[in-house]
């Protein structure tokens, strides 16, 4: 298997693009067809095979650009040294005939390389360069590359070393130092260090100057390798870390989740809802009416000489779950409500018939808002509009009865999220009874732990008789279980 492509696919997977093995095979076919020569074409071609949604295309573009970036090393001080080295290698050739007279002034070599190059041919310290060239020939390969400013050479050596020490297996960030060191070792840092020590020992200004340049080069090398390891780490690792995080998040209480993890949780809810809808996709029933299914009727009535005796029908009834969700957004449950709203939003995306309501003092429908705006606007608008005032269950349920009671039928599942704390007001349990009688399933999700139910102004016991199911719900694991239940019961 093509290692480069394999690594690239691994990097894509790390970036959350789902690539199946069939697609890997396709990718190989694509590479066989278009080759690695034309970068743009390769990118366009692989984009057809690997990422399969618009979002993934974006991630793919980004990953491709980073992965197939030609490892350009920073220019930094390399640039001037490059010039200098270039001149130094050209000058002696030209001076074979002309430059002999300057021999006695070799000690001028203490000056900077660039300066000397600028002085041009015939300058007094040309022989210094000749001597330097002789010294340089004895140095290690890495030192020579550093001195001649061979950026491409260094990049190649670095990539080779990375390959040799298995950099693509890097997992967690604490390994970065280890891998940097291994790469440097593999590139021959030891020899470079030896060269520096060796040069310093010599009693020559040229050698000292070279040593100084090597020392600077080493620093540069260190920073390059660090950058390289860092970029490779971002491509190849991370995935385990993020899975670990998701795992922890799904078990933590909703209220404790920090804002910065918000987006991630959102993604998780989305993934979850999608998965669930995939499992519980629409179910169908064949009914005794609709169009005549000629094929089946013919087949069935063969036995009766083709006389249509036993008639078959084509009509298929598509049954979709109908969900009505009511969410308490008052102060006491605000943080969890935020979360529940987000979850409802995701449900809205994947199920066609979800009606959502929010209340604290009064109740209102937010279905349209959820459908037309993005999740953040929808939530903040809901909270701004309905999150004011103290909770009044009686009043809110009254509102609900006016808004949607007639819409509740034997296929509807009603989900209510609330702490059942009605500030000692009338809980309106007679409306709950009506809802209960009409709906297929009524579920109450309470963010409080069971032992605080019915304490103080909580009137859970008054609602409980009218619910088919009462659940504690304050973490994603709870939510996940509940959704699975909804979809099963709502068929």
Partner 1 sequence: MTLVKPIKSAAGKIDSIESIRAGFETLGYITNPQIATSIYLAQNLEKPLLVEGPPGVGKTELAIATAKYLGLPLVRLQCYEGLDESKALYEWKYGKQLLYTQILRETLGEVLQGAKGLPESMKRLHQFSDVFFSEQFLEERPLMKAMRAPAGAVLLIDELDKADQEFESFLLELLSEYQISIPEIGTLKATIKPIVFLTSNNTRELSDALKRRCLHLYIPFPDAELERKIIAARVPDVSVKLRNELVAFIQGLRGLDLKKLPAVSETIDWARTLLLLHANTLDAEMVRTTLNVILKFQDDIEAVGAQLTTLTDEALKAAERPSGSL
The answer to whether 423 and 392 are in contact (CB under 8 A) is yes
Q: Which is nearer to partner 1, 47 or 191 (CB)?
A: 47
User: Per rule CB under 8 A, is residue 399 in the interface with partner 1?
Assistant: no
First to last CA, the chain: 47
**327 closest CA partner among 274, 366, 381:** 366
Minimum CB distance to partner 1, residue 14 (Å): 19
User: Per rule CB under 8 A, is residue 244 in the interface with partner 1?
Assistant: no
User: Per rule CB under 8 A, is residue 74 in the interface with partner 1?
Assistant: no
User: Per rule CB under 8 A, is residue 37 in the interface with partner 1?
Assistant: no
User: Per rule CB under 8 A, is residue 39 in the interface with partner 1?
Assistant: no
Residue 168, both tokens: 């693509």
User: Per rule CB under 8 A, is residue 477 in the interface with partner 1?
Assistant: no
Minimum CB distance to partner 1, residue 29 (Å): 6
- Distance from C-alpha of 222 to C-alpha of 208, rounded to nearest angstrom: 21
Mask: binding to partner 1, 332-351, rule CB under 8 A, as x and -? --------------------
User: Per rule CB under 8 A, is residue 286 in the interface with partner 1?
Assistant: no
- Distance from C-alpha of 472 to C-alpha of 417, rounded to nearest angstrom: 10
Residue 404 host element (H or E) = helix 393-404
- Which residues are CB-contacts of 226 (< 8 A; sequence separation ≥ 6)? 176, 180
The answer to whether 417 and 443 are in contact (CB under 8 A) is no
- Distance from C-alpha of 231 to C-alpha of 212, rounded to nearest angstrom: 29
- Which residues are CB-contacts of 90 (< 8 A; sequence separation ≥ 6)? none
Minimum CB distance to partner 1, residue 297 (Å): 9
Beta partners for 355?
Answer: 324
The answer to whether 489 and 441 are in contact (CB under 8 A) is yes
Q: Which is nearer to partner 1, 1 or 33 (CB)?
A: 33
The answer to whether 161 and 187 are in contact (CB under 8 A) is yes
User: Within 290-309, which residues bind partner 1 (CB under 8 A)?
Assistant: 294-295, 298, 305-306
Minimum CB distance to partner 1, residue 355 (Å): 19
Kindly tell me which residue out of 51, 149, 217, 321 binds partner 1, with binding defined by CB under 8 A: 51
User: Per rule CB under 8 A, is residue 321 in the interface with partner 1?
Assistant: no
Minimum CB distance to partner 1, residue 16 (Å): 14
User: Per rule CB under 8 A, is residue 312 in the interface with partner 1?
Assistant: no
Q: Which is nearer to partner 1, 31 or 91 (CB)?
A: 31
Kindly tell me which residue out of 274, 317, 433, 488 binds partner 1, with binding defined by CB under 8 A: 274
The answer to whether 312 and 300 are in contact (CB under 8 A) is yes
Instruction: Give residues in contact with partner 1 (CB under 8 A).
Output: 18, 20, 22-23, 26, 29-30, 33, 40-41, 44-45, 47-49, 51-54, 57, 274, 278, 281-282, 294-295, 298, 305-306, 316, 318, 372
């Amino acid at each position: 298997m093509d290692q480069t492509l394999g690594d690239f696919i691994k990097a894509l997977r790390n970036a959350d693009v789902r690539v199946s093995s069939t697609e890997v095979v396709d990718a190989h076919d694509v590479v066989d067809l278009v080759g690695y020569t034309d970068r743009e074409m390769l990118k366009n071609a692989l984009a057809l095979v690997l990422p399969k949604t618009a979002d993934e295309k974006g991630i793919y573009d980004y990953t491709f650009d980073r992965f197939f970036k030609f490892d350009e090393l920073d220019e930094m001080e390399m640039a001037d040294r490059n010039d200098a080295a270039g001149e130094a290698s050209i000058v002696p050739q030209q001076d074979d005939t002309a430059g002999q007279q300057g021999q006695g002034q070799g000690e001028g070599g203490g000056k900077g390389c660039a300066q000397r190059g600028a002085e041009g041919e015939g300058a007094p310290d040309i022989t210094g360069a000749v001597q330097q060239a002789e010294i340089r020939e004895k140095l290690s390969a890495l030192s020579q590359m550093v001195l001649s400013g061979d950026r491409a050479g260094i990049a190649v050596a670095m990539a080779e070393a990375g390959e040799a020490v298995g950099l693509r297996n890097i997992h967690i960030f604490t390994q970065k130092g280890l891998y940097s060191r291994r790469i440097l070792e593999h590139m021959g840092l030891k020899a470079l260090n030896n060269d520096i020590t060796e040069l310093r020992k010599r009693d020559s200004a040229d050698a000292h100057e070279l040593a100084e340049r090597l020392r600077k080069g080493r620093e540069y090398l260190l920073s390059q390798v660090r950058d390289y390891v860092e970029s490779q780490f971002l491509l190849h690792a991370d995935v385990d870390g993020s899975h670990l995080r998701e795992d922890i998040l799904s078990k933590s209480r909703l209220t404790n989740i920090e804002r910065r993890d918000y987006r991630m949780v959102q993604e998780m809810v989305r993934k979850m809802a999608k998965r669930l809808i995939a499992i519980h996709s629409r179910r169908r029933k064949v009914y005794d009416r609709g169009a005549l299914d000629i094929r089946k009727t013919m087949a069935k009535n063969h036995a009766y000489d083709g006389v249509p005796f036993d008639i078959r029908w084509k009509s298929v009834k598509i049954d979709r779950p109908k969900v009505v969700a009511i969410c308490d957004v008052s102060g006491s449950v605000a943080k969890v409500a935020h979360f529940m709203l987000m979850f409802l939003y995701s449900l809205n995306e994947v199920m066609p018939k979800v009606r959502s309501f929010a209340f604290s003092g009064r109740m209102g429908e937010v279905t349209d808002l959820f459908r037309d705006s993005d999740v953040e606007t929808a939530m903040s608008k809901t909270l701004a509009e309905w999150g004011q005032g103290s909770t009044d269950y009686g009043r809110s349920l009254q509102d609900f009865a006016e808004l949607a009671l007639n819409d509740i039928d034997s296929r509807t599942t009603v989900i209510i999220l609330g702490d059942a704390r009605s500030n000692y007001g009338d809980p309106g349990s007679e409306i709950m009874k009506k809802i209960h009688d009409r709906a297929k399933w009524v579920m109450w999700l309470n963010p409080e732990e069971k032992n605080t139910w019915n304490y103080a102004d909580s009137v859970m016991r008054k609602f409980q008789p009218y619910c088919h199911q009462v659940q504690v719900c304050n973490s994603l694991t709870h939510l996940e279980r509940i959704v699975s239940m909804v979809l099963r019961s709502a068929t």
